[in-house]
Amino acid sequence: MKEDIILAGVGGQGILSIATVIGSAALSQGLYLKQAEVHGMSQRGGDVQSHMRISSDPIHSDLIPKGCADLIVSLEPMEALRYLPYLSREGWIITNTVPFKNIPNYPEMSAIEAELGRLPHVIALDVDAIAAEMHSPRSANMVLLGATAAVLDILDADLLREGIRRIFSRKGEAIVETNLQAFEAGIRFAQNLK
């Protein structure tokens, strides 16, 4: 069994915290994992992505081949579309709907929504608003991870919950709880769609 995920966003949004939780869960199950990250100049407000591969068998390439990603998980809607050539025909996009506009020529939201609308498997949600409702605006990432959990096959939600506990435990129980609540809100949103 194998699952290939592209995590996307804008430098500084924090896609790597999502990767860290998934990675911790995968490691706890003794699964193979490769995770290619972006460090350096691109982190300064540019587009960033991480190729994350999880498998029960050894993984060769650090990069996902085009047309092979099972999931694109994005904290920003245009960034979700940037990696479309990597998505498998049966693959899912799970994306935040809130645009991050730090460029003068950001496209019309209607064009982005239309393109997402043409794809067969999309979960689009306003993770910022959901996180704010939960009184934890800084846990938007975990809302997105929750929505992802609904379509992620290789790791079940309990393993991700344990991952959240492990990753955030050194910041205190309150932070763990906030992140877990955000995660649950993401799961609920995705389940209501199904």
**Residue ranges in contact with another protein by CB under 8 A:** 10-11, 23-24, 27, 32-47, 51, 59-68, 78-79, 81-82, 84-89, 102-107, 111-112, 115
Q: State the minimum distance, in angstroms, from the CB of residue 138 to another protein.
A: 12
- Residues 6 or more apart whose CB falls under 8 angstroms from that of 193 comprise 123
Least separation in angstroms between CB 61 and another protein: 4
Q: Where does the chain have alpha helices with state H?
A: 15-28, 77-82, 109-117, 127-133, 140-149, 157-168, 173-193
Which two structure tokens, joined as six digits, stand for 21?
């939780």
Length in residues, the chain: 194
Rank residues 38 and 132 by Cβ distance to another protein and give the closer one.
38
Calpha distance 68→59 (Å, rounded): 14
Residue 169 or 191 having the CB closest to another protein: 169
Tokens of 9: 């966003």
Query: Would you state the structure tokens that stand for residue 184, as one six-digit string?
Result: 């649950």
Residue 24 or 181 having the CB closest to another protein: 24
**Least Å from the CB of residue 36 to another protein:** 4
Shortest distance, CB of residue 38 to another protein, whole angstroms? 7
Q: What tokens were used for 7?
A: 């995590």
Taking the least distance from each CB to another protein, the nearer of 63 and 191 is: 63
